[in-house]
Amino acid sequence: MNAIDNEWRDLMADWQSEEAMPGEAISVQLPDEARQRIRKRVRRYGWRMILVTLFEVLGCAATLAWIGKESLDQPRAIGTVGFAGTAVLMALALGFSLWNRRGTWAPATESTLTFVELSLERQRRKLVALRFGPWLLAAELAFLIPWSVWALLSRPAEPWRWLFAFGWMIGMSALLLVWSAWYKRRTLRETAEWEELRRALSAP
């Protein structure tokens, strides 16, 4: 989800700038327009989750179909192991994705506070996914590295094939780790913003 928009930031800045006694909670009354914007944003993100999930399912199916076709060009044992290993890793990734999104597709009630709490829960689930990512990457490399060596040694292969195979693995792994670090910082920042808004809406 994108960061809370400028109107929300202005509202939060005004709320934070108000003076209060130590320990005293300050409540903020959001305009109806801002409340509607919150709800629209949360609902849009729910539709995005559905589209992303459909894309993941179709992507996994297409990848398995392509790998199944490519495995026919490999010796029988190598092709079978490659296809089976990829299928297991994809099933693990897709299964975790669906499990991690459970209960976050739509708000349970129509109150603005419920919408904000749902957004907070979605942010927490993002952090769970980010912690799972390196473990999944390690499992993929633990399978791909020995399998790639086995496949490349099974028949004469030009040096560029070795460079491509391992260069791709190294490059994609580095890119994923860099993206994960950036996305974690963004998610933590957005989580803090949602938490502030929830405290403002929950204050008496």
How far is residue 59's CA from residue 92's CA, in Å, rounded to a whole number? 14
Note the pLDDT tens digit of each residue in 109-149: 888 888 899 999 999 999 999 999 999 999 999 999 999 99
Domain coordinates of the chain in residue numbers? 31-202
Phi and psi, residue 83, nearest 5°: -65, -45
pLDDT for 41-81, tens place per residue?
Answer: 889 999 999 999 999 999 999 998 988 887 877 778 988 99
Q: Which tens digits make up the pLDDT trace of 168-179?
A: 999 999 999 999
Report d(CA 58, CA 64) in Å as an integer.
Answer: 10
| 3-class SS string, 79-129 | HHHHHHHHHHHHHHHHHHHHHHCCCCCCCCCCCHHHHHHHHHHHHHHHHHH
Task: Please state, in angstroms and rounded to a whole number, the distance separating the CA atoms of residues 36 and 55.
Answer: 28
pLDDT at residue number 69 = 85
The pTM assigned to this predicted structure is: 0.81
Q: Cα(44)–Cα(70) distance, rounded to whole angstroms?
A: 38
More confident residue, 12 or 93: 93
